Amino acid sequence: MRVRVATTALGITAALLALPACSTGDQRPSAARAGTPSDHAQQTAVLSSAALESRLLASSDLGNGYLPKPERPSPHDDVTVLGCPALNNLGGDAATGGTLDFSRKAKTAFTYGNSSSEISEELYSDSAKELSDGVARIFDALTGCPTYRVVSGGTPIDIASQKLPAPTAGGDERWSLLLTFIAEGRSTVVKQTAIRDGNLLLVFSGSPALVDRHLDRALAKVTATH
Q: Give residue limits of the domains in the chain.
A: 4-214
CATH code for the part of the protein at 4-214: 3.40.1000.70
Question: Beta-carbon neighbour count of residue 62 at 10 Å?
Answer: 18
* Secondary structure string (H, E, C) spanning 125-147: ECCHHHHHHHHHHHHHHHHCCCE
Residues 6 or more apart whose CB falls under 8 angstroms from that of 44 comprise 128, 198, 199, 226
Q: Which residues contact 146 (CB under 8 A, 6 or more apart)?
A: 160, 161, 162
Instruction: Output the CA torsion sign for 130, 102, 148, 176.
Output: negative
How far is 66 from 36, CA to CA, in rounded Å?
39
Burial status of residue 208 (CB atoms within 10 A of its CB: 0-12, 13-18, 19 or more): middle
Rounded distance, CA 174 to CA 132, Å? 10
pTM of the predicted protein model: 0.80
Nearest 5°: phi and psi at 118? -155, 165
Tell me what pLDDT residue 8 has. Answer: 38
CB contact at 8 A, 123 and 55: yes
pLDDT of residue 184: 85
At 192, the amino acid letter reads Q
pLDDT per residue rounded down to tens, the chain (226 residues): 233 333 334 455 444 433 333 333 333 332 333 334 444 444 468 999 999 999 999 999 999 999 999 876 655 556 788 898 887 776 544 444 345 778 799 999 999 987 778 999 999 999 999 999 988 888 888 888 899 998 877 889 899 999 999 998 889 999 999 999 998 889 999 999 999 999 999 999 999 999 999 999 999 999 986 5
The three-state secondary structure class of 213 is helix
User: Which pLDDT value is given to residue 200?
Assistant: 96
